[in-house]
Amino acid sequence: MAAAALDGLDDACLVVAPDWIITYANDAFARLRGTADDRAIGESLWTAFPPLSHPGAATLLRAAMADGRRRGCRIPMTGHPAAIHEMRVAGIAAGLCIQLRDVTATVRSEQELAARIEENVSLREVARVLAAEVDLAPLLDVICREAMVQCDAAGASIGQIEGSEVVVVAGAGIGQRARGFRFPVAGSLTERVVARREPLRSADYTREHPTLAHAIDGYAAHRMLGAPLIAHQEVLGVLMFARRAGAPPFAEREMRRAQAIADHAALAMWKTRLLEQLQKANRAKGEFMAVMSHELRTPLTALTGYQELLQDEVFGPLSEQQRGALDRMRSSTELLTVIIDEILTFSRLDAGEVTPRLEHIAGQRIVAAAAAVVEPLAREKGLELLLDVPDEAVVLRTDMEMVRRILVNLGANAVKFTERGTVTIELAADGGNVSLAVRDTGIGIAAADLPRLFQPFTQLESGFTRRYGGTGLGLYISRRLAALLGGSVDVASTPGEGSEFTLRLPKER
């Protein structure tokens, strides 16, 4: 009867013996292999279903066979690049029971959500730079460089309107040649852009504006795109993109991108006029972040409570699919909690409102509490989280929640920047101090980037093409909290090999 029930499942299920021979497989597994009449019983798992030979999946399977513990990960299907399956493994008396579920649609939804989040993070990063940078010229040059890349142009420049003239104040690519150039607004593409207050294209700039097209040596722009720089209903200038002869015309998508980037440039130019007001706005922003963080915690706490009630089956039994959805909900709510806590802690640290609550606590307890948060993040990426702690209790007088938060920040960063391998949390006593180290086998950090690591809202890969998300507050908060506890956070890293962040704290504070 059990076999009949498994045959009725949409998920592929199979059982393998300790020698990796398939002893049972249901119909869904046969369909997944593409051999409806052949369940591969009696064959080696590795040859019967090659996708499970993927390094991450194979490592997980061997570990489960060794200790019988439940595990799970996501794996790509060989021959089906767009297909992703979630594998769950459990030890049984006969070996291993393996369940494979198609989560391609779920992964796509997660990727779309991640893309939207990344876009918001990029906008927030630009806003941070605008709020922090005092020198306008370098900032506008950065915007020009990013704009040129985003719109696939040979050059980009920013023209500032001064009365009846336009002055080119920044440039990248061939747009650098136009820096300092002045020309009248009347009769130019800028005049049309300002009048329409929207992006406009010129398919043949040399024919439409021959005087301006040949006024700058080496400019040689054939296709042009201009986007207005509008701030507070005032047109400050124009962001221009240039393509050489033979290049395709600018498309609608590039016009939308151009306007989005132009909005950032306009804000940067407006900032120089209203620096004092922006400083006040920054203080108001900090207060707003603190208030909103407090307000967000209330519904998030309720969401977590209902999630726990569902997980405990208070409202009725759950299917495996529902449990999987709850597990993903739990990971998402935990991540959101971390983000809110980072914003709230940042605001409180800047206001001098954070005070340690000291107690004697075993370092092992702190490591276990941090691992409970980091382990699901590592598992989702197919990484192994290792804990290296001594058997004898390492007791220190400190604030457990602060230390836990530091370890969670360091561990989450290690997972984020590691694609394969392990993340290790190590506890050790060193005379009158205690060290807690987080090591990874990730991308590593260049020596030139190390001084910027602990600055607030800092990501080493910034701008419009940043691959990794995050608030950029984790390391800044970690070092500030460590200092409050009388300790420090140090880093050692080798690009391509991994990083090690070490938190050192006194045993007695």
Mean confidence (pLDDT) of the chain: 83
Please report, for residues 36, 126, 298, 458, the alpha-carbon distance to residue 261 in angstroms, rounded to integers and kept in the order given: 53, 10, 36, 20
> What is the per-residue pLDDT across 347-363, written as a single tens digit (0 to 9) for each?
777 777 788 999 999 99
Please report, for residues 119, 121, 124, 300, 374, the alpha-carbon distance to residue 469 in angstroms, rounded to integers and kept in the order given: 9, 7, 11, 21, 17
Q: What mean pLDDT comes out for the span 430-435?
A: 90
CB 95 within 8 A of CB 17: yes
pLDDT higher than 90, residue 368: yes
Closest CA to 105 of 74, 60, 72: 74
Question: Which residues, 6 or more positions from 280, have their beta carbon under 8 angstroms from its beta carbon?
Answer: none
pLDDT higher than 50, residue 463: no
DSSP 3-state of 78: coil
pLDDT higher than 70, residue 465: no
DSSP 3-state of 96: strand
> What is the per-residue pLDDT across 89-142, written as a single tens digit (0 to 9) for each?
999 988 999 999 888 888 888 777 775 665 565 556 555 655 565 567 788 888
> What is the per-residue pLDDT across 42-59, written as a single tens digit (0 to 9) for each?
999 998 888 888 888 899
As a whole number of angstroms, the distance between CA 311 and CA 318 comes to: 8
Tell me, what's the pLDDT at 8?
65
Torsions phi, psi of 232, nearest 5?
A: 55, 45
> What is the per-residue pLDDT across 269-290, written as a single tens digit (0 to 9) for each?
887 767 656 556 656 666 666 6
Tell me, what's the pLDDT at 62?
92
> What is the per-residue pLDDT across 88-102, written as a single tens digit (0 to 9) for each?
999 998 899 999 988
The sheet with strand 155-162 has its strands ordered as: 182-184, 165-173, 155-162, 234-243, 223-231, 200-202
Closest CA to 125 of 114, 139, 110: 139
CB 401 within 8 A of CB 366: no
Q: Could you count the other beta carbons within 10 Å of the beta carbon of residue 170? A: 28
DSSP 3-state of 424: strand
Token pair 């407006």 in the structure block, residue: 270
Q: What is the pTM assigned to this prediction?
A: 0.41
Closest CA to 12 of 107, 85, 71: 85
pLDDT higher than 70, residue 403: yes
> What is the per-residue pLDDT across 313-344, written as a single tens digit (0 to 9) for each?
887 888 888 888 888 887 777 767 767 777 77
Cite the DSSP H helix spans in 275-357.
275-311, 320-350
As a whole number of angstroms, the distance between CA 20 and CA 56 comes to: 17
Tell me, what's the pLDDT at 314?
80
Do the strands 182-184 and 200-202 form a parallel or antiparallel pair, or are they unpaired?
A: unpaired
Of the pLDDT bands very low, low, confident and very high (cuts 50, 70, 90), residue 366 is: very high
Tell me, what's the pLDDT at 211?
81
Q: Which helix (H) or strand (E) holds 223?
A: strand 223-231
CB 51 within 8 A of CB 14: no
Please report, for residues 196, 212, 224, 491, the alpha-carbon distance to residue 190 in angstroms, rounded to integers and kept in the order given: 10, 11, 11, 50
Token pair 């058997």 in the structure block, residue: 391
The dihedral built from the CA positions of residue 24, 26, 28 and 30, taken in this order, carries a sign that is positive
What is the helix, strand, coil percentage profile of the chain, to 5?
45, 25, 30
